[in-house]
Amino acid sequence: MGWLQSLFSPLKKLWFRLHSAQRKSMFI
**Of all helices (H) and strands (E), which one includes residue 18?**
helix 2-27
pLDDT in tens, 1-28: 688 899 899 999 999 999 888 887 777 5
pLDDT value at residue 28: 59
pLDDT value at residue 22: 81
- State how far the Cα of 13 lies from the Cα of 28, in Å rounded to an integer: 23
- Provide the whole-model pTM: 0.52
pLDDT value at residue 24: 78
pLDDT value at residue 9: 95
- State how far the Cα of 12 lies from the Cα of 5, in Å rounded to an integer: 10
pLDDT value at residue 12: 94
